[in-house]
Chain A
Amino acid sequence: MIPELGNFSLVLALSLAVLLSVLPMVGVYRNNQLLMTLSRPICSGIWVFMVVSFSCLAWAFLHDDFSVAYVARNSNTLLPWYYKFTAVWGGHEGSLLLWVLMVASWTYAVSLFSRNLPLDILARVLSVMGIISVCFLLFMLLTSNPFDRLMLNTPAEGTDLNPLLQDFGLIVHPPFLYMGYVGFSVAYAFAITALLTGKLDAAWARWTRPWTNTAWAFLTIGIALGSWWAYYELGWGGWWFWDPVENVAFMPWLVGTALIHSLAVTEKRGVFKSWTVLLAIAAFSLSLLGTFIVRSGLITSVHAFAVDPERGLVLLAILLLVIGASLFLYALRAPVVKGSASYTATSREVFLLINNILLVVSTAGILLGTLYPLIHEAINGEANMVSVGPPYFNTIFLPLMAILAAFLTIGSISRWKKTSLSYLKQQLMKVLVSSVVLGVLVPLIVTREVNIGIFVAVTLAFWIVFGIARDIQVKTANKTSIVAGLKSLSLSYYGMQIAHLGMAVIILGICLTSHYSVERDVRLAPGDQLEIGRYTFIFEGVSPVQGPNYVADAGEITVLKNGESYLSLFPEKRTYRATGSVQTEADINVGFFRDLFAALGDPRGEDAWVVRIHVKPFVFWIWLGAFLMAGGGITAILDKRYRVRETKNLKAKTSEQVKSSGSTDLLGEAS
């Protein structure tokens, strides 16, 4: 009964979504206030029914209702209750349900928090969101209904959730990632609205920015959690593999980053308008491409639940519809939203343009690398298969990001419209000299080793950090005290600087851990020792352990630091009862400056095991940097100017009125 209720709610949500995509839009063109006003209650209706539907599926999981095919395939009575709950999004159908629930939540949030939007704009935005909901609800109901029943032969026991997914990482990773993916649909809806109305002014950019920042922050955390999960759960200590699935999540993030910067220019200076719209379309299209590639089974991976060509085709149709329709509209309407302000070759506009080009080019490179095996196969036939490995992606991505980091400081300290070279020189000379000197000396003194790559990375990190300090110093110079100066800076300015600091932290984390990690695979018998730097790892042996739904061989490794007792690591090799599948559980001692990582390989001879032991300096900084970035994005939207309710004032304020001298900071108050 409950699953039918869930199914029925889905159908109701679909009906309402159809209304949402049609009625407000009709209202706009007939100038019918009532139809436009209807969009708000419809949004709440869709959201309520999606919540009901989601709860019904969760209920089916928690009550082991194996008559529901999806539950039977992804759960088991032995599964702890919290994994039963997260198994809701552990497979294709359920994760699609979560996806649509997210769309509904974002739509509802837009209808709640956009009281200051003119009604006709809101009606268009919500209509576009409605169309997206319709597409995905139809897709779910027609090809992948999570409530399909196995009435005649209900299994007594479920197949079990994939052991890899029985983990805290899975509880949080997909919801965050989806919030990010789907969140770009709001920026997309705003972009389509701008094309429809032909109005793309500072007010439009100001409405769009908080939504884009929020989506981007969620996506940042989602990707960071995914990487963290891969680090400890895939069992082998890597944190980024340039796997197609990672790439398709990373591409919308890169384009979203470009979008955030281009929106800043559009708001402050009224230029890059059509470019901003194109980026918004691209960010959401790449999110859809990600969903398509992952869900269609085109590329096999842990995320590819469905190897079903029919589903792939329907998704491809949705993808082509969204991209095709919006690019067509863009071709028709882009000239209407053209910007007109002028700027010179060393203005902040140009530095942000450079930022955008670098981000878009790296996205294009990653896209090519991700799709290349498919293209190659399509051209040369199935027998000639290739794979594109990390060397390709590193060769493309790392130099571009180094250039991006170099321009980051220049861009954020420069001014709108015109910045003289002598000004930049005056502001940045000390920063440049000190970061190069420290960037070379610090690694040299600490490691006594010459490595150009590390010098460059550390220099860039110092360059960003000192640049931030210098910028804050310049901006607070004419205030009475440092505290007064710091108080005078806006939250959105702090957001920008926190996110940039995150970039410096990530650069350090990635480069230091890649270069200085010590990774050993050794065969250890009980009592054997391994020394890495200050640490001594003593293998104490392996003993059997019982878990709720698995049995495990648990190893014990005593770690000494400088010869003194320090801590113990307990890596496990689990065998899950329901499926008999084997899963490596690494044990990691997380530290601010280093992680100690141990994983059990396979048994070799009498009591001996192959053990993988890593000492990974600064690996924590990768995730720390990502969280700083996300925190920066959130801080920026807390700025009070996004909560100004005086719509008339906002509309009157065109970008031309913003004088370059009056707004020296990227995200600060428009004067």
Chain B
Amino acid sequence: MLAHRQQKLAIVMFIVVGAALAVGLLLVALNEGINVFYTPTEVSSGDVSQGQNFRVGGMVKTGSLVKDGLDGTEVNFLATDFCNDILVSFSGPLPDLFREGQGVVADGALDEDGVFRATQILAKHDENYMSAEVKASLDAAETETAEVCHQ
């Protein structure tokens, strides 16, 4: 009987320790892994502090893409929600579906000059694709355009 109880105790202990470990890992991981999504308007109104990692989405403003005359593989463009713009700087090859006038989502952080340094420009899979995030941010931007921009 004792052996049986010991065995049960061992299993219970193991599950408790395992669960504690798992919860600990989850908390650490959620802290590290979550990127909050902001619109250009939210960024320019100072919702985000410098150095904090986040995602920004909007349209690539037509005529704003600068490829030449910069160092190495750097490109600059403006991401807009038709209310506010944010200057995005990125180093590397642009995704196939990156176009002026099309939606874009960028991962990265603001530098001291307020430029968004993107570590990743999300490559989208489909021509018709507009991510739920970009769509929502554009919708939000349109209503805000009515409310904020024309004040």
Measured between beta carbons, the chain A residues less than 8 angstroms from B28 are 395
CB of A178, distance to nearest CB on chain B (Å):
20
**A389 and B140: CB pair below 8 A?**
no
CB of B19, distance to nearest CB on chain A (Å):
8
**A385 and B132: CB pair below 8 A?**
yes
Cα distance, A350 to B19, chains bound together (Å): 16
Q: A390-B33, A396-B26 are in contact. Are A382 and B96 (CB under 8 A)?
A: no
**B22 and A365: CB pair below 8 A?**
yes
**B37 and A582: CB pair below 8 A?**
no
**A345 and B34: CB pair below 8 A?**
no
**A342 and B33: CB pair below 8 A?**
no
User: Nearest chain-A residue to B13 (Cβ)?
Assistant: A345
**Quick check: is A162 within 8 A (CB to CB) of the other chain?**
yes
Q: A396-B25, A604-B67 are in contact. Are A610 and B123 (CB under 8 A)?
A: no
Cα distance, A446 to B46, chains bound together (Å): 49
CB < 8 Å neighbour of A610 from B3, B19, B25, B93: B93
**B140 and A301: CB pair below 8 A?**
no
CB of A492, distance to nearest CB on chain B (Å):
27
CB of A542, distance to nearest CB on chain B (Å):
14
**Quick check: is B30 within 8 A (CB to CB) of the other chain?**
yes
Measured between beta carbons, the chain B residues less than 8 angstroms from A368 are 26
Instruction: For chain A, residues 384 to 417, give those with C-beta under 8 angstroms from any C-beta of chain B.
Output: 384-393, 395-396, 399-400
Measured between beta carbons, the chain B residues less than 8 angstroms from A207 are none
Measured between beta carbons, the chain B residues less than 8 angstroms from A599 are 93
Could you say which of B4-12, B77-85, B108-116 contacts chain A?
Answer: B4-12
Measured between beta carbons, the chain A residues less than 8 angstroms from B98 are 602
**B29 and A396: CB pair below 8 A?**
yes
CB < 8 Å neighbour of A345 from B10, B30, B35, B91: B10
Interface size on A, residues (CB 8 A): 57
Measured between beta carbons, the chain A residues less than 8 angstroms from B146 are none
User: Nearest chain-A residue to B69 (Cβ)?
Assistant: A605
CB < 8 Å neighbour of A583 from B10, B19, B96, B131: B96
Cα distance, A350 to B34, chains bound together (Å): 35
Cα distance, A396 to B24, chains bound together (Å): 9
Measured between beta carbons, the chain A residues less than 8 angstroms from B92 are 521, 601, 610, 612
Cα distance, A637 to B25, chains bound together (Å): 37
Q: How many A-B residue pairs have CB under 8 A?
A: 133
Cα distance, A577 to B11, chains bound together (Å): 62
**B93 and A385: CB pair below 8 A?**
no
Could you say which of A28-36, A130-138, A319-327, A353-361 contacts chain B?
Answer: A353-361
CB < 8 Å neighbour of B93 from A345, A383, A602: A602
CB < 8 Å neighbour of B68 from A357, A391, A396, A605: A605
Measured between beta carbons, the chain B residues less than 8 angstroms from A399 are 25
**Quick check: is A513 within 8 A (CB to CB) of the other chain?**
no
CB < 8 Å neighbour of A604 from B3, B14, B68, B107: B68
**Quick check: is A445 within 8 A (CB to CB) of the other chain?**
no
**Quick check: is B73 within 8 A (CB to CB) of the other chain?**
yes
**Quick check: is A152 within 8 A (CB to CB) of the other chain?**
no
CB of A359, distance to nearest CB on chain B (Å):
12
**A361 and B18: CB pair below 8 A?**
yes
**B72 and A345: CB pair below 8 A?**
no
CB of A100, distance to nearest CB on chain B (Å):
25
Q: A354-B14, A584-B96 are in contact. Are A386 and B131 (CB under 8 A)?
A: no
Q: A388-B34, A396-B25 are in contact. Are A301 and B125 (CB under 8 A)?
A: yes
Q: A236-B123, A354-B14, A599-B93 are in contact. Are A521 and B73 (CB under 8 A)?
A: yes
**A522 and B73: CB pair below 8 A?**
yes
User: Chain A 357-376, CB within 8 Å of chain B: the 1/0 string?
Assistant: 11001001100110010000
**Quick check: is B142 within 8 A (CB to CB) of the other chain?**
no
Cα distance, A291 to B44, chains bound together (Å): 40
Measured between beta carbons, the chain A residues less than 8 angstroms from B97 are 581-582
Cα distance, A583 to B15, chains bound together (Å): 49
Measured between beta carbons, the chain A residues less than 8 angstroms from B35 are 386-389
**B7 and A342: CB pair below 8 A?**
yes
**Quick check: is B133 within 8 A (CB to CB) of the other chain?**
yes
**Quick check: is B136 within 8 A (CB to CB) of the other chain?**
yes
**A385 and B73: CB pair below 8 A?**
no
CB < 8 Å neighbour of A300 from B34, B67, B123, B129: B129
User: Nearest chain-A residue to B130 (Cβ)?
Assistant: A300
User: Nearest chain-B residue to A365 (Cβ)?
Assistant: B26
User: Nearest chain-B residue to A361 (Cβ)?
Assistant: B22
CB < 8 Å neighbour of B125 from A164, A345, A390, A395: A164
CB of A606, distance to nearest CB on chain B (Å):
9
Cα distance, A388 to B36, chains bound together (Å): 9
CB < 8 Å neighbour of A386 from B3, B26, B34, B127: B34
User: Nearest chain-B residue to A236 (Cβ)?
Assistant: B123
User: Chain B 26-67, CB within 8 Å of chain A: the 1/0 string?
Assistant: 101110111111000000000000000001000000000001
CB < 8 Å neighbour of B32 from A235, A392, A522: A392
**Quick check: is A343 within 8 A (CB to CB) of the other chain?**
yes
**B133 and A385: CB pair below 8 A?**
yes
Measured between beta carbons, the chain A residues less than 8 angstroms from B32 are 391-392, 395
CB < 8 Å neighbour of B91 from A353, A383, A521: A521
Measured between beta carbons, the chain A residues less than 8 angstroms from B67 are 602, 604-605
Measured between beta carbons, the chain A residues less than 8 angstroms from B25 are 365, 395-396, 399-400
Cα distance, A405 to B26, chains bound together (Å): 20
User: Nearest chain-B residue to A382 (Cβ)?
Assistant: B136
**Quick check: is A338 within 8 A (CB to CB) of the other chain?**
no
CB of A161, distance to nearest CB on chain B (Å):
12
Q: A234-B123, A387-B34, A392-B34 are in contact. Are A300 and B29 (CB under 8 A)?
A: no
**A610 and B73: CB pair below 8 A?**
yes
Measured between beta carbons, the chain A residues less than 8 angstroms from B11 are 350, 353
CB of B21, distance to nearest CB on chain A (Å):
8
Apart from A302-B125, A369-B29, A385-B132: 4 A-B pairs, beta carbons within 8 A: A235-B96, A365-B25, A581-B96, A611-B93
Q: 4 closest Cβ contacts across the A-B interface?
A: A392-B33, A601-B93, A395-B29, A302-B125
16 pairs from A and B in contact (CB 8 Å cutoff): A236-B93, A344-B7, A361-B18, A365-B22, A365-B26, A369-B33, A382-B136, A386-B34, A386-B35, A387-B133, A389-B33, A521-B73, A523-B73, A581-B97, A599-B93, A605-B68
